[in-house]
Amino acid sequence: MEKNPTDTANLRKAIGPGLLVACAAIGGSHLVWSTRAGAEFGWALLGLILAANLLKMPFFLYGQRYAAATGESLLAGYHRKSPAFVWIFLGINILTGTINIAAVSMLAGALFAGCGIALSVAHLTLGIIALCFFLILLGHYRVLDGIAKILILLLTIGTATAVTLALLNHPESTVNQTVSNPYTWVSFAFLISLLGWMPAPVDLSTWSSLWMFSREQQTGHAATVRETQFDFFLGYGMTTLLAVLFLALGALVFYGSGEVLATKGVAFSNQLVSLYTDTIGEWSRWLILGAAFATMFSTSLTCIDGYPRSLAAACTLVVPSQKHRLQNLRYFWLILCCTGAALIVKFCVENLLTLLSFAAIISFLTSPILATINWVVMRGGNVPAQYRPGLFLNVLSAAGLLFFLLMALGYIYMRFFT
């Protein structure tokens, strides 16, 4: 049967928000945690990474599906169920927003410093935050959309090529290795850090529903649930694939080498780039360094757009009289988040991985709360029956929540009682 050209055109118009979530996800979680997982434990954490992506999937899917099915944002669904849900969201995001922006921007600054720029990581990071601030201020959604589609494609091709060459150059890395056991109390904090940002914090699910309305304004097309799901699984599938590929790079190149990953920004970024140059060749250093920086820059850009956008939308829900001031509220949060991130950079610039770990742990500990709210909202009476979670999604959601809760309790026990 010949495909309707109109359907194809509408599907192209719908694609965007899901890729933006992927762009935000493929940053610290992949470049740092997946790579470190492979470097420190070989292939032992492959199952956990796949499980994390699977168990978080419903809660990210609900963000876009809810918006397409009801015509309102997921945050509006929070408020419809209970204004307390919006206040919880505000509290969590005010805590995590500036920390996460600072962490991903500092990693971008460290990668930029690896190019030999005669500026400190702190100054480069502040410059990146300022540049993202003005791009969001002046370019709005269309800047995000344009950057995301190019970078996701380039990074996927580049990383898949590097892994293929690593397999050819290090075939011994796939056999006859004594696998370290990561499932111990000693490694538990690392596992929580990995899970916190794998593939992304759950609060990003609210961003995609807001980006859907910006995409609709850009294209004039309101995406259907079917089109939205295609966009979601395209982006989410890429994040899962790249998480596995970065784990593979760490396992094939670093694991068993005796080399310890650095904690300081420039040293860590140099080691990260060496993953590629050791497998592709020294000629690729500048190409890979540029691609890695571009990836982290796009993550910074999406975070600096997403947090203020969602915080402003939440404020208009708890104070309806401010609804007509949505844009001004967004600028307010944009300024506040960037200023707060700059202050964090000033005090934490020498401890990049410590800051990344703290941000990832906070994201994980709050994930059961936001995941529960997403599930409750998606099962609401205002959602058409055919779009509410079926048996598979309900079982997967329950399994995910139980997993998050047990791991969070395990971390609290490890942190305070052992």
pLDDT band at 260 (very low <50, low <70, confident <90, very high): low
**Residues whose CB falls within 8 Å of the CB of residue 183, separated by 6 or more in sequence, listed in order:** 191
pLDDT recorded at residue 263: 63
Residue 221 pLDDT class (50, 70, 90 cuts): confident
pLDDT, tens digit, for every residue of 358-373? 888 888 999 999 999 9
Q: Is residue 6 over pLDDT 70?
A: no
CATH of the domain spanning 5-417 = 1.20.1740.10
- Distance (Å, rounded) from C-alpha 316 to C-alpha 112? 37
Q: What is the pLDDT of residues 292-340, one digit of tens each?
A: 787 788 889 889 999 999 999 999 999 888 777 888 999 999 999 999 9
Average pLDDT over residues 15-33: 83
**Two structure tokens written together for 243:** 């998480």
Q: Report, as an integer, the average pLDDT of 237-241.
A: 91
- pLDDT (0 to 100) of residue 219: 87
Q: How confident is the model at residue 175 (pLDDT cuts 50, 70, 90)?
A: very low
Residue 136's pLDDT is: 87
* Range with top average pLDDT, 5-19, 258-272, 377-391: 377-391
| 125-144 mean pLDDT | 84
Mean pLDDT for all residues in the chain? 85
Top-confidence residue, 277 or 407: 407
Query: Where are the chain's structural domains?
Result: 5-417
pLDDT > 60? residue 3: no
Lookup result for tokens 């310890």: 260
Mean pLDDT throughout 105-131? 86
Does residue 171 have a pLDDT over 60? no
- Residue 1: pLDDT above 60? no
Q: pLDDT tens digits for 56-90?
A: 999 999 999 999 999 999 999 999 999 999 999 99
